[in-house]
A = this chain, B = another copy of it.
């Protein structure tokens, strides 16, 4: 923890997150070592440049990037084995790990949760800039200010967006913004089971959006659910209660209207650009032939109207060789864009 020793980051666990931290810090000039329970994986990560091999020296900071289920134990072992190192971890649940660390030395433990979502795993998929512009939660709990500063420095070196919060608040929040939305998306997808393929083909962009995250492999979800069980239970109770209110209502229409109204108020709180509320972008939907270069031509034409495209969504038509591409733009620019696109021969489906 001393500022006088040069920082030496030792990473325990050479999967996607551990190896990406090693690559990113090494590229930034930090001294990193990396290890893994599987010596082959450790050697692979070292060969990729994620860090060297630890000798006898004590690291200044230990980053535990092990699977969530073993993280509490590895954090405890690390605090014991290296009695003056700051220890952090990267698991997506923070309370059980803080509790484990408290039994050894809470002053040197700082929880981290780098929220870099990725659908593939393993050291070979690692990227030093995996964390750039992504939230990185830091849970100080009982740690010293200098321990917190050292962990923040790692997150900042990786150009992450540091957010300090209490471990308990973190776990409650991720249950509602991440863990239970995954459960609900999988349940909506599973409910397609009784339908024939032709019926599933009636799916529109709404269903595709709701179920996108249901396409991922279970991966670490079992561990995460076990570690955040209490907050997941509370959130599931909330959602099941709302669904049952609609299910049991004398007037299902009134109950659904009430739920939609309450949901809308919350969606407005999900940040859009730059922490502000979601802008009232206007959608302009264009029929785009499914041919190379058409999307580029569309954006070039938008650019010629000097309209900045804030967001794009593409809906592929199930049976026709065209896609519906929606450009989201500021309201005051929408009419200009519409006119320009029409002048350039685009068919606007809705605007």
Q: Mark A264-278, 1 if CB is under 8 A from B, else 0.
A: 101111111111001
- Asked if A3 is an interface residue, CB under 8 A from chain B, the answer is no
Alpha-carbon separation in the docked complex, A283 to B215 (Å): 14
Interface size on A, residues (CB 8 A): 139
Query: Is B202's CB under 8 angstroms from A177's CB?
Result: yes
With both chains docked as a complex, state the minimum distance between the C-beta of A309 and any C-beta of chain B, in angstroms. 6
Query: Is B187's CB under 8 angstroms from A243's CB?
Result: yes
Please choose the segment from A34-42, A47-55, A128-136, A148-156 that sits at the chain B interface, where 4 or more of its residues have CB less than 8 A away. A128-136
Cβ–Cβ < 8 Å partners of A293 in chain B: 303, 308
Query: Is B317's CB under 8 angstroms from A133's CB?
Result: yes
Query: Is A275's CB under 8 angstroms from B319's CB?
Result: yes
- Which partner residue on chain B sits nearest A192 by CB separation? B266
With both chains docked as a complex, state the minimum distance between the C-beta of A340 and any C-beta of chain B, in angstroms. 14
With both chains docked as a complex, state the minimum distance between the C-beta of A272 and any C-beta of chain B, in angstroms. 6
> Which of A194, A257, A296 has the most CB atoms of chain B within a 10 A radius of its CB?
A296
Interface residues of A in 173-230 (CB under 8 A from B): 173-174, 176-178, 180-218, 221-223, 225-226, 229
Query: Is A200's CB under 8 angstroms from B351's CB?
Result: no
Q: Mark A103-123, 1 if CB is under 8 A from B, else 0.
A: 000000000000111110000
Q: Mark A250-288, 1 if CB is under 8 A from B, else 0.
A: 011111110111111011111111110010000100010
Cβ–Cβ < 8 Å partners of A240 in chain B: 240, 243-244, 247
- Asked if A157 is an interface residue, CB under 8 A from chain B, the answer is no
- List the number of copies, as a whole number: 2
With both chains docked as a complex, state the minimum distance between the C-beta of A144 and any C-beta of chain B, in angstroms. 23
- Asked if A347 is an interface residue, CB under 8 A from chain B, the answer is yes
A210-B184, A296-B300, A316-B272 known; A133 vs B349 contact (CB < 8 Å): yes
Q: List 10 A-B contacts (CB under 8 A).
A: A129-B348, A130-B350, A177-B202, A182-B260, A184-B210, A186-B242, A191-B239, A216-B264, A221-B256, A274-B319
Query: Is B322's CB under 8 angstroms from A309's CB?
Result: no
> Which of A186, A262, A308, A313 has the most CB atoms of chain B within a 10 A radius of its CB?
A186
Alpha-carbon separation in the docked complex, A132 to B288 (Å): 11
Secondary structure type dominating chain A contacts: helix
- Asked if A299 is an interface residue, CB under 8 A from chain B, the answer is yes
Query: Is A303's CB under 8 angstroms from B314's CB?
Result: no
- Asked if A311 is an interface residue, CB under 8 A from chain B, the answer is yes
Query: Is B295's CB under 8 angstroms from A299's CB?
Result: yes
- Asked if A172 is an interface residue, CB under 8 A from chain B, the answer is yes
- Asked if A236 is an interface residue, CB under 8 A from chain B, the answer is yes
Query: Is B211's CB under 8 angstroms from A350's CB?
Result: no
With both chains docked as a complex, state the minimum distance between the C-beta of A60 and any C-beta of chain B, in angstroms. 28
Cβ–Cβ < 8 Å partners of A221 in chain B: 253, 256-257, 260
Cβ–Cβ < 8 Å partners of A145 in chain B: none
With both chains docked as a complex, state the minimum distance between the C-beta of A196 and any C-beta of chain B, in angstroms. 8
Query: Is A247's CB under 8 angstroms from B270's CB?
Result: no
Query: Is B259's CB under 8 angstroms from A190's CB?
Result: yes
Taking a contact as CB atoms closer than 8 A, the residue among B225, B256, B311 that contacts A314 in the complex is: B311
Taking a contact as CB atoms closer than 8 A, the residue among B193, B226, B242, B275 that contacts A190 in the complex is: B242
Taking a contact as CB atoms closer than 8 A, the residue among B187, B192, B314 that contacts A269 in the complex is: B192
